Structure 1
Amino acid sequence: MHLRRRLGPPADRGVVASGVAALALALAGCSSTPTIDDADLSPADRAACESLVADLPDTLAGAERRDVEPDDALGAAWGDPAYVLTCGVPEPDDYEPTAECNVIDGVGWYVPDDQLTDQGEDATPIALSLEPYVEVLVPADYRTEGIDRALAELAPALKGHLGDGLPCL
């Protein structure tokens, strides 16, 4: 059985959260180019990540793809503040084999419990059901409407380029 939890807030909190997000966007200036750290990967995992990055969409949850540093990074970014996908991340330190994951369009995403409960915090879901592991930084601004949509839109590319990872409970 797969536990299916919406990663965004309950519907009754959306209006308040949307207002806070709009205010934060109005007060925030343009952000710098996202930097994606290079991972120490096997040649096969590096090739899978390179293939994935080349096949990622031009838009994600309505946000346009943007440049990242370095140019050949194993990841991509969309929007401002940016959703940032990084391919080849390690298994999270706090992951336990009995941890629950959220299955969205066939991809199992692990999200730490504290990120599920605090909608004002950035979320960092990691696709542990596929390898190499992929993390998506989702800014708090997008938690009300964009997180589930973004992860669903990424699912076809992830499933098309990555192998089987950990099973989801």
Structure 2
Amino acid sequence: MNIFRHRPFGLLAPALLIAVAGCSSADDSAKVAVPSPDARTATVCRDLHRVLPEKLDGRDRDDPEPRSAYTAGWGSPAIILRCGVVRPPKMVDPKVAEGGDPDAVAGEVDGVDWLMEKHGDGTWRFTTANRVAYVQVSLPKGMPAQDEGTAVLTDLAGAVKKAIPKGIASMR
């Protein structure tokens, strides 16, 4: 058996892997973990999906992969919305309620209550409060919450109020 005859294929495999990895990293479509809501929450999340805006803070809608009625996205890098997520731990943290946590703040934008969390990597995450489902919105790195975050939440307020009634979300 001639080992040199098989060597080009051995060298080709790593090259193919690099080429495939290079193609996939250039792909701009966002990939998002899809929530698994209970039946009650799934119904209101599907209602929300139908009324979400086509534009958010001037960005066109471009839903992430895998496609789901529980996720939506706008722009690139994407602003990501996930409906039916579990309650964030900071939502029950007394330091947040008292204003003693600089990385998490409770606030209201156009009639919708939000928990606003700043992460160590510079990203922001907003989660609805006092609604029958938790809706989470994540801003991409480098997008300041004080400016664009307010516009994003303002653009989403009407859809959230229309589809997600006030109330207590499941405790899961």
TM over 0.5: yes
Deviation at 1:85, TM superposition (A): 0.2
Matched, 1:52 2:48: yes
Question: Does 2:132 correspond to 1:131?
Answer: yes
Q: How does 1:65-144 map to 2 (within 5 A)?
A: 65-96=61-92, 98=94, 99-100=96-97, 101-112=106-117, 115=118, 121-143=122-144
| Separation in structure 2 between the aligned mates of residue 150 and residue 38 of structure 1, nearest angstrom | 21
TM-score by length of 2: 0.69
Over alpha carbons, which structure has the higher Rg? 2
Structure 2 equivalent of residue 157 of structure 1: 159
Is the Cα contact below 8 Å between 2:28 and 2:77 reproduced in 1?
Answer: no
Which piece of structure 1 moves more, 54-63 or 64-73?
64-73
The runs of 5 or more residues in structure 1 that have no matched partner are 1-28
1:23-57 deviation line (CA, Å, top 9, x unaligned): xxxxxx96632223232322221111011012100
Deviates more, 1:50-59 or 1:32-41: 32-41
- Equivalent pairs, count: 134
Question: Match for residue 17 of structure 1?
Answer: none
Counterpart in the other structure of 2:34: 38
Secondary structure of 2:125's counterpart equals: coil
Q: Distance in 2 between matches of 1:68 and 1:56?
A: 14
Unaligned runs of 5+ in 2: 1-24, 98-105
Structure whose residues are more often helix by fraction: 2
Cα distance, 1:137 vs structure 2? 0.4
Q: CA deviation at 1:92?
A: 0.7
Moved more, 37-46 or 125-134: 37-46
Helix, strand or coil: the match of 1:131? coil
Alignment of 1:21-32 (within 5 A): 32=28
